[in-house]
Amino acid sequence: MQTLLGKHILLGVTGGIAAYKCAELVRRLRDEGAEVRVVMTRSATEFVTPLTFQALSGHTVHTDLLDPEAEAAMGHIELARWADAVLIAPATANMIGKLAQGIANDLLSTLCLATQAPIAVAPAMNHIMWSDQATQDNINTLRNRQIAVFGPAFGNQACGETGEGRMLETTELIEKLASIFSHESLRNTRVLITAGPTYEAIDPVRFIGNRSSGRMGFAMAEAAIEAGAKVTLIAGPVHLKTPPKVDRIDVESARQMHQAVMSQIDDCDIFIATAAVADYSPAQTHDQKLKKTEETLSIQLRRNPDILAEVAATGKVFSVGFAAETEQLEDHARKKLQSKQLDLIAANQVANHDRPDEDTGFNSEYNALDIYWANGHIQLEKARKTELARKLINIIAEHYKNKH
C-alpha cells in the first residue's frame, strides 16, 4: 500500500482488550513503510506493556502528559506536529466521549486537540455500550467533525456476547488508514512539477547554487499522486528519494530544467514551479578549473529563461508559482502573480531576521505559506511540508476545477 510509505502514524492505544491486537498492527504498519509512534493511556498499559510497543515501533512509548523525560525527547506539541495521521485503536467509549467533548486530561486526548493531522478512531467495546445513545451521539459528533470512524465489526465479543463492537481486523484498519491519504481530486490530471535548486557551472568543479532542499517540490509530487494525478517531477540536484509512482527527470542547470519542462509541457494540465531556479548563470563556463591568478575575479552572468513565465504565457496550462520573500510578502507575491500571468502563487517568508527562531523555508522540514490568486488569499499556518503540500494540492485542485 504505497500511500502509507513514509507516513508518520501516531497510534493511540486506549484501555480495551483489543489493545493486544495493536502489537500486530504496529508491525504491519511498519511493513507498509510507515513510521509509527505509540501513545498509550494509563488503562491501556494494564492490557499490554509499553515495552511491547517500544520494541515493535522502535521508539519510546509515550504515556504521560507531564513526564519531563518524555517531553525532553519529543514534547507533546512536537508529537502532534510530527503526525501525518492519528489512529486511536482500540478507541474506548470513554476516549470517544472525551474527543466529542474536547476534554484534554491525558496525553492522547491532548494530542488530539493539538494536532492538525486527520484523526481516525477504531471503536472496540461491548455491543450494548456501543449502541448506547450517549456513545452514538458522541460518534456522530466525531463524524460531523470529519474524524474518521473505522468499524466496529459485528461478531463474538471478549465478554462472551455477540454483537456490533469488535475492533476491525488489522488488514481492514490498514486499508482504511491508507484511504485517508488517497483522494481523487486530481484524477485524470497530468501534473508537472519542478523541484530543488539549480547548479550553474563556473568550471568543471565549481558552480553557483542555492540552499533549496527540494523537500517542498517532492512533497507536492507525493500529494499530487495521492490525489490521483499522473505526476512528472523535474528535479535539480537533491538528495531525496523519488516518491512512489512519480516519473522523475534529473537536471542540473536552469537551462537543462527549462529544456526538460518544455519537452513535457504539451502533456500536462497543471504546472507547479517549486524549484529555486537560478535567475542568472555564468556567461562562460570554463573547460578547465580556474586558477587563482589575480587579486579579484569577476564572473559575468547572463539571465536564464524564466521557465514559469514561459509556461504560463502559453495560456494552456494551469500555472502555480512559488515565491520566497524576505520582506513585503503580499506585495511581491501579487506582483509575480500578475507579471508571470499565474493562476496561483504560494509565498513564504525566508530568512526573517525579526523571527530567527522560526524554523521554516528553504532547508527546513517545516514551512508556512500564503496562497494568493487574482481576487483571494488563504493562509496555511506552519506545518510539515508534507502536510502543507496536501492542503495546497487541494486548493490547486479546487481552482483548477473552477477554471475548467
Three cell numbers, residue 321: 508559482
CB of 261 to ligand CTP, least distance (A): 8
Three cell numbers, residue 347: 509565498
Query: Which residue from 130, 181, 199, 322 is in contact with ligand CTP, where contact means CB under 6 A?
Result: 322
Binding-site size for ligand CTP (CB under 6 A) equals 15
**22, 13 contact by CB (below 8 A):** yes
Query: Which residue from 13, 251, 277, 388 is in contact with ligand CTP, where contact means CB under 6 A?
Result: 277
275 binds ligand CTP (CB under 6 A): yes
CB of 154 to ligand CTP, least distance (A): 52
The nearer residue to ligand CTP, 38 or 193, going by C-beta atoms, is 193
Three cell numbers, residue 186: 486530481
The nearer residue to ligand CTP, 38 or 276, going by C-beta atoms, is 276
Strand partners, 376: 373
The nearer residue to ligand CTP, 110 or 253, going by C-beta atoms, is 253
273 binds ligand CTP (CB under 6 A): yes
The nearer residue to ligand CTP, 279 or 330, going by C-beta atoms, is 279
How would DSSP label each residue in 382-400?
EEEHHHHHHHHHHHHHHHH
Q: Which helix (H) or strand (E) holds 162?
A: strand 162-166
Q: How far is CA 23 from CA 48, 89, 216, in A?
A: 9, 11, 33
Nearest to 224 by CA among 194, 198, 251, 266: 194
321 binds ligand CTP (CB under 6 A): yes
- Residue 112 annotated among the catalytic residues of the structure: no
306 binds ligand CTP (CB under 6 A): yes
Query: Which residue from 336, 384, 385, 390 is in contact with ligand CTP, where contact means CB under 6 A?
Result: 336
The nearer residue to ligand CTP, 98 or 334, going by C-beta atoms, is 334
Alpha helices in 162-205 (DSSP H): 170-181
CB of 398 to ligand CTP, least distance (A): 20
Place of cell 484524477: 187
**DSSP designation for 244:** T
Q: How far apart are the first and last CA of the chain?
A: 32
Q: Looking only at residues 349 through 368 of this chain, which bind ligand CTP when binding is defined by CB under 6 A? A: none
**272, 396 contact by CB (below 8 A):** yes
Query: Which residue from 85, 119, 223, 324 is in contact with ligand CTP, where contact means CB under 6 A?
Result: 324
Three cell numbers, residue 243: 516518491
The helix-helix angle for 21-31 and 50-57 (nearest 10°) equals 10
Nearest to 396 by CA among 340, 335, 345: 345
CB of 371 to ligand CTP, least distance (A): 13
192 binds ligand CTP (CB under 6 A): no
Query: Which residue from 67, 137, 279, 359 is in contact with ligand CTP, where contact means CB under 6 A?
Result: 279
The nearer residue to ligand CTP, 99 or 311, going by C-beta atoms, is 311
Stretch that binds ligand CTP, among 32-40, 47-55, 273-281, 371-379 (CB under 6 A): 273-281
**182, 263 contact by CB (below 8 A):** no
Q: Looking only at residues 194 through 253 of this chain, which bind ligand CTP when binding is defined by CB under 6 A? A: 194
The nearer residue to ligand CTP, 110 or 348, going by C-beta atoms, is 348
Neighbours of 282 (CB within 10 A): 18
323 binds ligand CTP (CB under 6 A): yes
Three cell numbers, residue 348: 513564504
Q: How far is CA 134 from CA 95, 120, 137, 157, in A?
A: 13, 19, 5, 21
Query: Which residue from 254, 260, 388, 392 is in contact with ligand CTP, where contact means CB under 6 A?
Result: 254
Query: Which residue from 308, 312, 337, 380 is in contact with ligand CTP, where contact means CB under 6 A?
Result: 308
Contacting positions for ligand CTP (CB under 6 A) = 194, 254, 273, 275, 277, 279, 304, 306-308, 321-324, 336
Just list the catalytic residues.
Answer: 159
